[in-house]
Structure 1
C-alpha cells in the first residue's frame, strides 16, 4: 500500500502529540505507544495498492504548489463506533481541492481505499486505533478541549511493504 499524507507544522504536531500523551497517561489507547520511526501526526489524502507510473512526481508537483495549507482541528470523534479515535480537521477549500487533485492523479491506481476517496473521506488526524466508543467522552475531555490551528507544511508517502516514507513536498528548506 502507498499513501499520500500531509504533515503538520511544528505547533500543530506538538498539540497532537500532547493529546497522544494525555490519552496514554490516562490509560487509554493512544498513538503515543507506537514507537515506529515513521509514526507522526499526519492527514491521509489517499491510499492505494501502488502508484501508477509517473504518479509520484505528479503528486510531488501538486503538493509543492499547494503547501502550506491552513489547518484547524475540530472535535474529537470515534469513527465507525469502535475504530480510530480521531481529531477531525475542518476541510478548508484548499484542502478539499488538493484532495480531489490527488485522486485525479491516482485515478488509474490499483486498490484504492474507499474511505479516503472523494465523497467518503473524513479529514482527520488519528489519536488512537481500535478505540471503544464508550471511552469517547473521557477522550474528548483529555484530548480535544482546544481547537488548535496550524498548517500542513509537507507531504509524504508511506510504503507499507517496506515500512518507509518518502518525501513528496515540503515548505521547509531542503538540506
Structure 2
C-alpha cells in the first residue's frame, strides 16, 4: 500500500504531539506510544496498492504549487464508534481542492481505499487507534478544547510494505 499524506507545520505538529502526550499520561490509548520513526502527525489524502507510472513526479508538482495550505482543527471524535480517536480537520476549499487533485493524479491506480475517496473522506489527524467511544468524554477533556491552527507544509508517501516514507515535494520550505 502507498499513501499520499500532507505534513503539519511545526506549530500544528506540536499541538497534536502535546495531545498525544496528554492522552498517554492519562492512561488512554495514544499514538505517543508508537515509536516508529515514520510516526508523525499527518493527513492522509489517498491510499492505493501502487502508484501508477509518473504519479510521484505529478504529485510533487501538485504539492509544490499548492502548499502551504492553512488548516484549523475542529472537534475530537471517535470514528465508527470503536476505532481511531481523531482530531477533525475543517475541510476548507483549498484542502478539498488539493484532495481532489491528488485523487485525479491517482485515477489509474489500483486498490483505491474507498474511505479516502472524494465524498467519503473525513479529513482528520489521528490521536489514537482502537479507541473506545466510552472514553471519548475523558479524551476530549485530556486532549484539550482548543482548535489549533497551522498549515500543511509538506507531503510524503508511506509505503506499507517496507514502512518507509518518500517525500512528495521538490522544493524545500
Q: Please indicate, yes or no, whether the TM-score normalized by the shorter chain is above 0.5.
A: yes
Shift of 1:108: 1.0
The answer to whether residue 57 in structure 2 is matched with residue 63 in structure 1 is no
Shift of 1:143: 1.1
Structure-2 change in CA distance of 1:150 and 1:170 (3 Å): farther
TM-score normalised according to structure 1 size: 0.97
Q: Any residues of structure 2 matched to 1:23-172 within 5 Å, and which? A: 23-169=23-169, 172=172
* Alpha-carbon displacement from aligned partner over 1:139-165 (angstroms, at most 9, x marks no partner): 011114100000100000000011100
Query: For 1:29, what is the secondary structure of its paired residue?
Result: coil
Q: Which runs of 5+ in 1 are unaligned?
A: none
Structure-2 change in CA distance of 1:170 and 1:70 (3 Å): farther
Q: Which runs of 5+ in 2 are unaligned?
A: none
* Alpha-carbon displacement from aligned partner over 1:19-59 (angstroms, at most 9, x marks no partner): 00000000000000000000000000000000001111101
TM-score normalised according to structure 2 size: 0.98
Shift of 1:169: 1.7
Shift of 1:170: 6.7
Query: For 2:168, what is the secondary structure of its paired residue?
Result: strand
Mapped contact 2:60–2:170 kept (Cα < 8 A): no
Structure-2 change in CA distance of 1:90 and 1:11 (3 Å): same
Mapped contact 2:61–2:170 kept (Cα < 8 A): no
Q: CA RMSD in A?
A: 1.0
Query: For 1:169, what is the secondary structure of its paired residue?
Result: coil
Structure-2 change in CA distance of 1:144 and 1:88 (3 Å): farther
